[in-house]
Amino acid sequence: MLTRQTAAVVGAGPCGLSMLKTLTEDGFDVTCFERRTQVGGLWAYTEDSSMTTALSSAYALVSKYTCGMSDYPMPEKYPHHLSQPQFQEYLEEYARHFNVLQKVVFGAIFQQAIRTKDDKRWRLEMRINGEPHHQDFDKVAFCHGYQTTAEMPVYEGSDKFGGILMHSQQYRSVEPFKDKNLVIVGLSSSASELTSLLLPHVKSLRLSHRRGAYIIPIWRNNTPADLQATYRRREIGRWLGHYFPRVARWALDAGLKWYMKKAWGHLDPEWRILPAPSAAISLPGASDVIIPLLRQGKVESIQGIRRFIAPKTIELSDGSILEDIDAVICATGYSANISVASSFLTHRQPPGYDGPPLANLYMNIFPPDYADSMAILCYCSYCKTNGFSSNDVMSLAVSNVFRGTHRLPTKPDMIKEIHQHHDWLVSVYTEDKTQGSFDPNMVQGWRFNSQIHDAAGTGLEALGWGLKGWKFWWKDPEMYKIMHSGIETAHAYRFFETGKRKTWSGARDAIIKINEEAKCFPLKDEEKERYVAVRGPA
């Protein structure tokens, strides 16, 4: 009798749980290692300020209709947008439902992965509840998230500052900031959340930013904004991105400017919200509060910080001076920690490029030397469909590669494509070298989505305009219409039979049900006001 191949999954957030469940379902003997005390990743709240966490007051920025796992529907009991405790509960219930929770080892601090002496397996070294531990596996998938390492700006004279200077990752309570003059750096969704939480308690609040940003409302016309994303619209964008990239970028940015004008009306130039870097290379923020608070004068927009010159004094990039500043919180984002792969992962520094080293990963996932046994799923954070729902697509793809159901290109061909991708990254970096503006994780949406869905075997090409699309439309026009132009849901990933992965018998009913439930929108004004009053602004 053949022994089952073993697999390790590092991280028990949405990505790790999906990978754990998929590999188990596909016949691997899987162990998952998680440093926290419960599953959920950043949705599992922790007081440990060295870990990124959704605050206990946080709500998801996308609605329950467009997120969730492909074969485990969001329960009806949840509101339109899940809270942090609800999201953690959903993920734990998912693990229990598929009987994989017992496969998670908690309190595991990962150290490194190295090849065994015979170069046939992977040895994982870690500490579990403080004790050293190592274990060998045939396959390894790193699913520890791309929001692990805080990107903290380096400021001249920061040692002279006598107040609080911290990254938003460390924030847990309003208490240290009560009655303080506060500066929040950035226009991200995190900056918006902190603004909402802290404004009622501080003496003054300023938003410091070097450049503008697209700020998209969470609601539009009393409807969750994410419900406007459909497969059809995304495919049009990807087609343009493939064949007419300049047109695609122009159309994306022009569309967002129009969207913002419709949502917010006139934007005071003094706020410097626009112009913004292209959304093709810099993710927009989501907030219902930043623009209204700027308009009401409750929050002030200021230039980026140049340096600290005294215990309570800051000089801005335009030379102006701020005095009596008590605290600065940098909501400046995160980067993926891939140092855990340092023993085998190589990097490249293309000629004439002076940015951060670029990892040699095919599809930003597979190291060419070990593509059949190693996957790093924290290094492709841009241009996915829905960051949460895409976890199932990636886990299906990785499992298919690991078990030989999907064959990757030859090593020379993978390296050639990696170098082509690096050339694109260099062009993006050259365009804007502002600190914090470049993320080597980004992928080209049209290429990445085509490759990942092909590897996963989702069969979504049947929603396109090719022969398979026409056949599906002819056979089942109503379902084609719902899946092509209706609510974008992960259940579509389990609908088509392709032979590469398991379908889900409940996919059709779940897709129809979500589209029926979403007919409750737009809400009446009083309904939306009551809903927002309960969940709070974001």
Over the stretch 478-529, which tens digit does the pLDDT of each residue have? 999 999 999 999 999 999 999 999 999 999 999 999 999 999 999 998 888 8
Fold of 6-148+336-460: FAD/NAD(P)-binding domain (3.50.50)
Comparing 6-148+336-460 with 152-330, is the CATH topology the same? Answer: yes
What's 152-330's CATH class? alpha beta
Burial of 361 (0-12, 13-18, 19+ CB in 10 A): buried
Mean pLDDT, range 437-460, rounded to an integer: 91
Q: Are 228 and 220 in contact, with CB atoms under 8 Å apart?
A: yes
Q: Phi and psi of 489, rounded to 5°? A: -130, 145
Give the residue from 243, 255, 232, 222 showing the smallest Cα distance to 465: 232
Residue 239 has pLDDT above 80, yes or no: yes
Mean pLDDT, range 428-436, rounded to an integer: 77
Residue 2 has pLDDT above 90, yes or no: no
User: What is the reported pLDDT for 1?
Assistant: 47
Q: Are 125 and 134 in contact, with CB atoms under 8 Å apart?
A: yes
Residue 382 has pLDDT above 90, yes or no: no
Which 8-state DSSP code applies to residue 496? S
Query: What angle, 0 to 180 degrees and rounded to 10, lies between the N-to-C axes of helices 231-243 and 245-264?
Result: 140
Domain boundaries, the chain: 6-148+336-460, 152-330
Q: Which two tokens stand for residue 538?
A: 């974001």
| pTM for this prediction | 0.95
Q: Which of 232-236, 290-294, 349-353 has the highest mean pLDDT?
A: 290-294
pLDDT digits (tens, 9 = 90+) for 69-111: 999 999 999 999 999 999 999 999 999 999 999 999 999 999 9
